[in-house]
């Protein structure tokens, strides 16, 4: 069946995947340790971008709360690492805050398995919870977006406020080892890099599977005409909740990897600005295409680390303008631009069809 | 008793600030369906306009005149924010009508640029604005219960702004055109209303009110380039809670959030209070997903 659809374009795309995968796995050969660590961080961000693309690009829900899911995953891993670094004693910041014994909810994080499970499940459940109370009541679009933004604000204030339990503004840092091996060691860095690369590919395959499945078709149906999907007999709320919590879990996974690479997590890394930046990665790469989202995250962060070190002031101007330009002129992002240049003809005919479909008054009213 | 009075006053005072910020949003978001994330930066522009007005007064006029700078600062802040809003509408917002989520992202970019611009011009550290001497002190209501004049002034300013907006929207020809365009754009255009002009004017008025809010915020503390970001999400929550399309909803939304958050923060801690308010809002939206006061409509999606 695959062979039947093996058009030249498909072959190019497959070659592209192969080149990308090879480049990923050979990166330790041609990058120094510092760059490799940066790349590993970007790959973790690419996982968040994939999750965001699932809900924004494919389901049409804009979440500005992914910083929270990312942060919860990161904190789960950080708690494990902190306990391992403290070696059975009370973590240092708790001593400073005058806590006598380890709080009850910290105890299970002594186990690596529990920490990983928590890093995936807590964001997923929070997303499911929020989704249940919003999508079920058809709170959607802008309202949902604003609620997710409020979620970010209260989570960060809560984390900053509970100094003794979460490390406050400083967050959690000062990790030393993972399974007894120093985190800063070269072997460890390489292993972590490979783990991240494999997980990114796994996340990509998972998202692709979701998108190509029947489930993914319903997601797109919900995006393009929620009420139509409802009238056909699907319950959009269920699909929205499920995809939102998958997306949250992916962000949590990325957060865990992020902590392993960077060695610190603080409330400022899960705040409003990082959350919106995550959306920008997807917008720039191209929403509605998985490759675009992942590439957008990697490229934007590479650009950021190059420019913002040299010209921190100009970087913010640039970022702001980029936001405006991409949203107004490139709604499909870089991938859209690229495919418009290469597959011009095909794209044009597709756009023609899309335009014809949208100009139908019933659809326009339905989406208004 | 004293505590009750004081908390109630604090609650109303917080509500009045929220309301002043949310009023501009109620117009741009509620009527035009544009999510203007740069609203906070328009507030910041209003605040810096007040700062500049103050400096000009200090340099040019004798000291006895200084107290009156604030009276001038209010219209100046309004005008500057109004003009910047007009420019913003003309260059960017008009491409984004009907795409609320895109407008959110694009205006966030504008917000970043404006913040950085303020940082370049005025410097990153906060600057202080000396409030006029006639606003110092307070009104003693009971023994030990003092209502500061500044807070009372802000409440009065909000009341006046609200009243003028009411007159404009519901009692003037321009306001009638505005409502007509927002309710049924095609029909209004058919009847000869210049929708482009109404859009631009409406957005600019929303921005101008943000400028007034910025002016009022200078009374409460030092101002900085990221002044607006503290308030913007709360203000959006006010509009969401209050419901879209009617001013009265915004008033109730602001009162609801302001009073409950003061009460919760008094009972618990500041951070827990915020969480509880959020939970209350989500719970409330279960009951009324469209907010307190919603426009009646038979449209399926609106």
Q: Closest-CA residue in chain B for A332?
A: B102
Q: Both tokens of residue A289?
A: 């295409």
pLDDT value at residue B280: 87
| Structural domain count, chain B | 1
Q: How confident is the model at residue A352 (pLDDT cuts 50, 70, 90)?
A: low
Does residue A129 carry a pLDDT above 80? yes
A contacts of B302 (beta carbons < 8 Å): 368
* Coil, strand or helix at A177: strand
Which residue did the predictor score with more confidence, A99 or A214?
A: A214
Q: Both tokens of residue B124?
A: 């990153």
Per residue in A313-327, pLDDT (tens digit) is 788 888 888 888 888
In 10 A of CB A181, how many CB atoms? 12
Q: Which helix (H) or strand (E) holds B147?
A: strand B145-148
Which residue did the predictor score with more confidence, B252 or B62?
A: B252
pLDDT value at residue A199: 93
Mean pLDDT of A123-133: 92
Query: What gap in Å lies between CA B301 and CA B289, rounded to an integer?
Result: 13
Query: What gap in Å lies between CA B33 and CA A31, rounded to an integer?
Result: 48
Residues 268-287 of A with CB under 8 A from B: 272, 276, 279-280, 283
Question: Is A149–B240 a contact, with Cβ atoms under 8 angstroms apart?
Answer: no
Which residue did the predictor score with more confidence, B37 or A357?
A: B37
Per residue in B190-219, pLDDT (tens digit) is 999 888 899 899 999 999 999 999 998 888
* Coil, strand or helix at B295: coil
Q: Are A41 and A261 in contact (CB under 8 A)?
A: yes
pTM of the full predicted structure?
Answer: 0.85
What is the b/e burial string over A132-151, where b = at least 16 CB atoms within 10 angstroms of the residue's CB?
bbbbbbbbbbbbbbbbbbbb
For B63-132, give the secondary structure using H, E and C. HHHHHHHHHHHHHHHHHHHHHHHHHHHHHCHHHCCCCHHHHHHHHHHHHHHHHHHHHHHHCCCCECCCCC
Query: What gap in Å lies between CA B29 and CA B13, rounded to an integer?
Result: 24
CA-based torsion, A301, A305, A311, A316: positive or negative? positive
pLDDT value at residue A366: 39
| Distance to chain B for A150, nearest Cα, Å | 6
- Residue from A323, A329, A366, A367 whose CB has the most chain B CBs within 10 Å, to mutate: A323
pLDDT value at residue B297: 64
Mean pLDDT of B97-103: 82
Q: Are B108 and A323 in contact (CB under 8 A)?
A: yes
Q: Is residue B294 part of a domain?
A: no
Is residue A171 left, alpha or beta, with left meaning phi > 0 and alpha meaning psi from -120 to 50?
A: left
Share of chain A above pLDDT 70, in %: 91
Q: Closest-CA residue in chain B for A279?
A: B105
- Residue from A322, A324, A368 whose CB has the most chain B CBs within 10 Å, to mutate: A324
Residues 105-144 of A with CB under 8 A from B: 130, 133-134, 137-139, 141-143
Mean pLDDT of B274-287: 84
A contacts of B299 (beta carbons < 8 Å): 365, 368
In 10 A of CB A259, how many CB atoms? 30
pLDDT value at residue B296: 66
User: In DSSP terms, which residues pair with B138 in a beta bridge?
Assistant: B148
Q: How confident is the model at residue B298 (pLDDT cuts 50, 70, 90)?
A: low
Which residue did the predictor score with more confidence, B290 or A321?
A: A321
Q: Is residue B269 part of a domain?
A: no
Q: Is residue B245 part of a domain?
A: no
Q: How confident is the model at residue A348 (pLDDT cuts 50, 70, 90)?
A: low
Question: Is B113–A320 a contact, with Cβ atoms under 8 angstroms apart?
Answer: yes
> Does the ipTM exceed 0.85?
no
- Residue from A328, A359, A366 whose CB has the most chain B CBs within 10 Å, to mutate: A328
Q: Is residue B295 part of a domain?
A: no
Question: Is B101–A150 a contact, with Cβ atoms under 8 angstroms apart?
Answer: no
Does residue A140 carry a pLDDT above 90? no
Q: List the Cα angle A245/A247/A251 in 5-degree steps.
A: 115
Q: What does the mean pLDDT of chain B come to? A: 85
Share of chain B above pLDDT 70, in %: 97
Question: Is B106–A323 a contact, with Cβ atoms under 8 angstroms apart?
Answer: yes
* Coil, strand or helix at A264: strand
pLDDT value at residue A244: 94
Interface size between A and B, measured as CB pairs under 8 A: 127
Q: Which domain holds residue B16?
A: 2-229
Q: What does the mean pLDDT of chain A come to? A: 83
| Distance to chain A for B241, nearest Cα, Å | 10
Q: Both tokens of residue B120?
A: 């370049």
């Amino acid at each position: 069946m695959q062979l039947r659809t093996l058009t030249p374009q498909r072959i190019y795309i497959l070659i592209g995947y192969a080149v990308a995968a090879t480049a990923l796995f050979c990166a330790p050969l041609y990058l120094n340790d510092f760059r490799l660590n940066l790349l590993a961080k970007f790959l973790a961000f690419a996982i968040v971008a994939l999750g965001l693309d699932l809900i924004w690009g494919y389901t049409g829900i804009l979440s500005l709360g992914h910083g929270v899911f990312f942060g919860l995953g990161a904190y789960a891993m950080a708690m494990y690492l902190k306990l391992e670094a403290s070696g059975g004693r009370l973590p240092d910041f708790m001593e400073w805050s005058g806590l006598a014994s380890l709080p009850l909810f910290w105890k299970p994080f002594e186990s690596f398995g529990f920490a990983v499970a928590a890093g995936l499940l807590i964001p997923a459940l929070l997303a499911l919870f929020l989704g249940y109370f919003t999508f079920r009541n058809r709170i959607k679009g802008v309202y949902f977006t604003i609620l997710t933004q409020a979620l970010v604000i209260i989570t960060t204030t809560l984390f900053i406020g509970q100094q003794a339990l979460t490390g406050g503004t400083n967050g959690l840092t000062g990790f030393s080892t993972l399974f007894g091996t120093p985190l800063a060691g070269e072997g460890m860095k390489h292993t972590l890099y490979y783990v991240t690369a494999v997980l990114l590919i796994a996340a990509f395959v998972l998202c692709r599977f979701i998108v190509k499945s029947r489930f993914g078709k319903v997601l797109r149906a919900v995006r393009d005409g929620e009420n139509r999907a409802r009238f056909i007999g699907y319950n959009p709320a269920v699909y929205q909740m499920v995809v939102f919590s998958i997306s949250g879990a992916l962000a949590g996974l990325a957060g865990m990897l992020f902590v392993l690479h960077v060695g610190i997590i603080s409330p400022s890394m899960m705040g409003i600005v990082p959350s919106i930046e995550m959306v920008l990665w997807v917008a720039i790469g191209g929403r509605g295409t998985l490759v675009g989202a992942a590439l957008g995250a990697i490229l934007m962060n590479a650009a950021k680390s190059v420019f913002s070190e040299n010209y921190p002031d100009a970087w913010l101007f640039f970022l702001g303008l980029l936001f405006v330009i991409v949203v107004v002129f490139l709604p499909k992002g870089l991938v859209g631009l690229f495919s418009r240049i290469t597959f011009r003809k095909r794209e044009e005919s597709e756009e023609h069809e899309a335009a014809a479909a949208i100009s139908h008054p019933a659809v326009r009213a339905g989406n208004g | 008793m004293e505590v009750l009075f004081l908390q109630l006053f604090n609650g109303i005072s917080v509500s009045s600030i929220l309301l002043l910020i949310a009023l501009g949003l109620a117009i741009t978001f509620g009527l035009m369906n544009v999510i203007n994330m740069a609203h906070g930066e328009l507030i910041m522009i209003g605040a810096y306009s007040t700062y500049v007005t103050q400096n000009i007064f200090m340099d040019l006029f004798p000291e006895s005149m200084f107290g009156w700078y604030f009276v001038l600062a209010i219209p100046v802040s309004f005008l500057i924010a109004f003009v910047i809003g007009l420019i913003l509408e003309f260059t960017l917002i008009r491409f984004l009508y009907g795409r609320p989520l895109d407008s959110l992202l694009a205006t966030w970019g504008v917000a970043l640029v404006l913040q950085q611009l303020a940082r370049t011009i005025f410097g990153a550290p906060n600057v202080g604005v000396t409030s006029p001497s006639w606003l110092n002190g307070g009104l003693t209501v009971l023994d030990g219960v003092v209502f500061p004049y500044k807070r009372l002034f802000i409440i009065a300013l909000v009341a006046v702004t609200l009243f003028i907006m009411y007159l404009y929207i519901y009692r003037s020809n321009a306001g009638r055109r505005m409502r007509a365009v927002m309710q049924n754009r095609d029909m209004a255009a058919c009847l000869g209303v210049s929708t482009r002009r109404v859009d631009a004017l409406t957005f600019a008025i929303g921005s101008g009110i943000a400028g007034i809010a910025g002016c009022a915020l200078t009374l409460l503390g030092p101002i900085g380039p990221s002044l607006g970001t503290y308030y913007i999400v709360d203000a959006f929550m006010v509009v969401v809670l209050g419901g879209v399309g009617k001013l009265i909803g915004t008033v109730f939304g602001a009162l609801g959030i302001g009073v409950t958050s003061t009460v919760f923060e008094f009972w618990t801690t500041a951070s827990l209070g915020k969480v509880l308010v959020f939970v209350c809002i989500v719970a409330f939206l279960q009951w009324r997903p469209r907010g307190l006061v919603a426009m009646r409509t038979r449209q399926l999606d609106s």
